Amino acid sequence: MYIPKISIITPCYNMERFIELTIQSIIFQDYPNLEYIIVDGGSTDHSIDIINKYKSKISIIISEPDQGMYDAIDKGIKSSTGDILAWLNADDSYFPWTLKTIARIFAEHDDINWIIGIPAFFDEERYLTNIYTHAAAKPAKAIANGWFRKGIYGYLQQESMFWRRNLYFKSGGLDVNFKFAGDFELWTRFALYSDLVTVALPLAAFMKRKSGLSIGSPQKYQEELDKACIGKKKYPSVLWSIAQNSIIMHLLRLLTRKKSRLCFYSTRYKTFLIKTVKRSVSSNTLSEMRYENIFKKYLKCHKKE
C-alpha cells in the first residue's frame, strides 16, 4: 500500500513543561514516512534543550523569533514536503494509532482532502478527561459561514485535523495577521474548496489549560472570530440568536441535523468506508450531557459540604 508522507509541525515557545510528551506522542508511533518539524520562537526556558534530545527523530528544527504562533506554523508548513499536513501544538497529543490511521484513510480515498477526528480532552497532568462518542456532522457551508464557534455549533478541534498539501496552498494558507483565531479563519476558507470528513475515532487530545491562547485571552479571541466572520451570515436561523442558555444551546445542536460525510472502520470489510449521512451537528449525545450534568451537581454539593 502507498504510504503517504505526513508532515507534522509543532510551534513552541517556552513550553518546557509540556513539549516532551507531545514530541513522544508523534515520534514513538514509528510512522515510516514522517516529516516532523518543530518551530521554536526563541524560547528562554529549557524547551530547546528538550527538543534537541530528540533531534535524530526530528526532520527540521527552527529556533528564531517569530510573529506569533500562526507565523511559526506557516513557516513550518512552507518548509515541509509532505503529502498530508497538520500541526500539533506543544501541549496536545496524538493517540498511538493516529498516523497509521490517517495515512490509510488518505491513501485509500483520493477524494478526501480534509479530515477531523472526534473530540478528546485532557488536563495539564495529561489525565484524559473526556472523549465524545458522537461523530458530528460538519457541513462545509456551515464552516464557511463561521457557524462552528461558541454560541452556535461549537468549535472544530484543530488538533485532530489533517489535510492534503494542495488544500492549504489553494486556500491561501494561514493569515498570520491573526494572533488568536487564525485556525478558525483558515477553516472558513478550507470549506470553500473541500468537505470536512468526520472520522468516527479520536485522533488527538486537546489540553485544557488556563494559559492557552483562546482560554487565556477570551476577549481578544472573540474579537478575531468576529473579524473572521465579517460579511458572513450570522446565524443559521433566528432561534440561535436568542438561545443564550447553554442547555438550550446544546439541545439546539442535538436537534440540528445536517448531511455530512462520515468515515468509519468496517470490521466486516477490514477497511475505512465513507458515507454521506444526516447527523446532529453536536459532538455531545443526550446521554453524555445527562452524565456530565449529574457530576456537575455532585461537585457543587460536595463543595458546599
DSSP string, 36-105: EEEEE---SSSHHHHHHHTGGG-SEEEES--SSHHHHHHHHHHH---SEEEE--TT-EE-TTHHHHHHHH
Tens-place pLDDT, residues 34-83: 999 999 999 999 999 999 999 999 999 999 999 999 999 999 999 999 99
- Nearest Cα residue to 155 out of 201, 121, 113, 111: 121
Please say whether the beta carbons of 34 and 99 come within 8 A.
Answer: yes
Which pLDDT belongs to residue 286? 79
Please, which residues bridge with residue 85 across strands? 7, 163
Instruction: Evaluate whether 232 touches 238 at the Cβ level (below 8 Å).
Output: no
Q: What is the mean pLDDT of the chain?
A: 92
Range 150-153 contact pairs with CB under 8 angstroms and sequence separation of 24 or more: 151/240, 151/244, 151/249, 152/235, 152/236, 152/240, 153/253, 153/256, 153/281, 153/282
Q: Over the stretch 223-262, which tens digit does the pLDDT of each residue have?
A: 999 999 999 998 998 888 887 788 888 889 999 999 999 9
Task: Give yes or no for residue 31 having a pLDDT over 60.
Answer: yes
For residue 40, count other CB atoms closer than 10 A to its CB: 23
Q: List where CATH 3.90.550.10 sits in the chain.
A: 1-101
**DSSP at 283:** S
251 within 8 A of 228, measured Cβ to Cβ: no
pLDDT number for residue 260: 97
Interval 199-216 mean pLDDT: 82
Residues 194-217, mean pLDDT to the nearest whole number? 85
143 Cβ contact partners less than 8 Å away, ≥ 6 residues apart: 156, 187, 188, 190, 191, 196
CATH of 1-101, one of 1.20.1540.10, 3.40.50.620, 1.10.10.10, 3.90.550.10: 3.90.550.10
Least confident window among 117-121, 162-166, 295-299: 295-299
Segment 138-142 shows an average pLDDT of: 98
| CB burial of residue 64 (10 Å; 0-12, 13-18, 19+) | exposed
Q: What is the model's pLDDT at position 289?
A: 67
Among candidates 77, 110, 94, 106, which has minimal Cα distance to 7? 77
Q: How far is CA 140 from the centre of its chain?
A: 16
